[in-house]
Amino acid sequence: MRDVISALPGSKIREVANAGLGRDDVLVFWFGESDEVTPEPIRQAAADSLARGETFYSHNLGLPELRQAIADYASALHGPIGADRIAVTSSGVTALMLAMQMLLSAGDEVVAVVPVWPNLTAQPAILGARVTRVPLRPQGGVWGLDLRALVDAVTPQTRLLLVNAPNNPTGWTLTRAEQQTLLEHCRRTGTWIVADEVYERMWFGGGPAAPSFLDIAMPDDRLIVAHSFSKSFLMTGWRLGWLVLPRASADAAGKLLEFNTSCAPVFIQRGGQAALAMADAFVPALVARFRACRDQLVSGLQALPGVTVASPPGGLYAFFRVAGEDDSLAFAKRLVAGHGLGLAPGSAFGPEGEGWLRWCFASRQPERLDEGLLRLRSALRL
């Protein structure tokens, strides 16, 4: 086995979750998903597809009608995007891995904004690339970017800039001005941008979506944007995503899809079509519910002495720390074992997140959040 694979760390979120296996009294907030099931019209569309016998291969890049539906959806948010720039993938993480495979060779330099979901920085490492980490900085719980430090880190030798915004776990989001600066700088250096924008609709600012590189980029810019149905449509278990890429890169994406997964299952793609058909009504209502959950949880956390937290502008998470609790993995395990509260340790997202905890507030049952706050209060002996 290659040394880089052997050296990959195990998931610290899974490590905490394993500590709660077999217990039905644990309130689970460690994964990035809601406790709601996928809407019935989406489930029914997939069931109808199976009933019709749609169990065969599709085009590597996805069903033409789904690619067009994605293009229409993205165009309504960001301006004209052709279906020939869309590649349907079996999950958002597969979309990101395909982008890495398209762009990276062993020894290439990748600059990544961190802390971040660990898969994002592991993927380049698996391919033999070198990852330079540029950390966000917290001030009073608010995470911010040192734009000058990031620009300075991206040089003509940098093959790829990797940015996840809205960010998992912090909720930090790039501003339009920051995006413009980064795009113009990467044009000068010849650096590709891979933007993980799967949380763009989980956005609590103005407008229907967080600022996107797609709003300002030209179709032939060195930009690949990864998306997923998981968060916006409550489809985490469906494993369906897509890429928006330059037209000239579509053939390469198709080849890699052939060698990785061949194609996404047709019945899953039919579910994606149904999701997009209901997006105009469903997504804003979902975001409104999540906004209420965010406000409820953050307010409760801010009322606890010793807790540092700020209201995130996007994403699904409250990222907070407790004074004196600097080992986030040990603390998370104690919360599970002693208080039945399941949170993700900040160290799961890199050393920059150590001392912090991530709490997913996406819930159909707000009373679960209140009960979780009571359990945290008990753990803090307040």
What number is the average pLDDT over the span 23-37?
Answer: 94
At residue 114 the predicted structure's pLDDT band, cuts being 50, 70 and 90, is very high
Written as six digits, the tokens of 206 are 């103005």
Q: Is the pLDDT of residue 20 over 90?
A: no
Written as six digits, the tokens of 68 are 């067009």
Q: pLDDT per residue over 73-103, tens digit each?
A: 999 999 999 999 999 999 999 999 999 999 9
At residue 321 the predicted structure's pLDDT band, cuts being 50, 70 and 90, is very high
Conformation bin of residue 381: beta by default, left when phi > 0, alpha when psi is -120 to 50: left
Domain residue ranges of the chain, discontinuous segments joined by + = 3-38+280-379, 53-278
What does each C-alpha distance from 9 to 4, 138, 167, 170 come to in angstroms? 10, 25, 21, 21
**CA angle in degrees (0–180, nearest 5) for 30-18-93:** 55
What average pLDDT is seen over the chain?
Answer: 96
* Local structure of residue 161 (DSSP, 8 states): E
Same CATH topology for 3-38+280-379 and 53-278?
no
Question: Cα(207)–Cα(224) distance, rounded to whole angstroms?
Answer: 22
What number is the average pLDDT over the span 179-202?
Answer: 98
Kindly report the number of other CB atoms within 10 A of residue 3's CB atom.
Answer: 6
What number is the average pLDDT over the span 47-71?
Answer: 98
Question: Cα(267)–Cα(238) distance, rounded to whole angstroms?
Answer: 10
Question: Cα(67)–Cα(269) distance, rounded to whole angstroms?
Answer: 10
pLDDT score recorded for residue 382:
63
At residue 6 the predicted structure's pLDDT band, cuts being 50, 70 and 90, is confident
Domain 3-38+280-379 adopts which CATH fold?
A: Aspartate Aminotransferase, domain 1 (3.90.1150)
What number is the average pLDDT over the span 158-175?
Answer: 98
CA 160 distance to own-chain centroid: 18
User: Helix, strand, coil: what percent of the chain each, to 5?
Assistant: 45, 15, 40
Map residue 76 onto helix, strand or coil. Answer: helix
Question: Cα(27)–Cα(33) distance, rounded to whole angstroms?
Answer: 13
376, burial (CB in 10 Å: exposed 0-12, middle 13-18, buried 19+):
buried
Q: pLDDT per residue over 328-376, tens digit each?
A: 999 999 999 999 999 999 999 999 999 999 999 999 999 999 999 999 9
**CATH C-level class of 53-278:** alpha beta
pLDDT score recorded for residue 1:
66
**184 contact partners, CB below 8 Å, separation of at least 6:** none
Map residue 133 onto helix, strand or coil. Answer: strand
Residue given tokens 């609709």 in the structure block: 201
Q: What percent of the chain has pLDDT over 90?
A: 94
pLDDT score recorded for residue 10:
86
Bond before 265 cis per omega within 30 degrees: no
pTM above 0.85, yes or no: yes
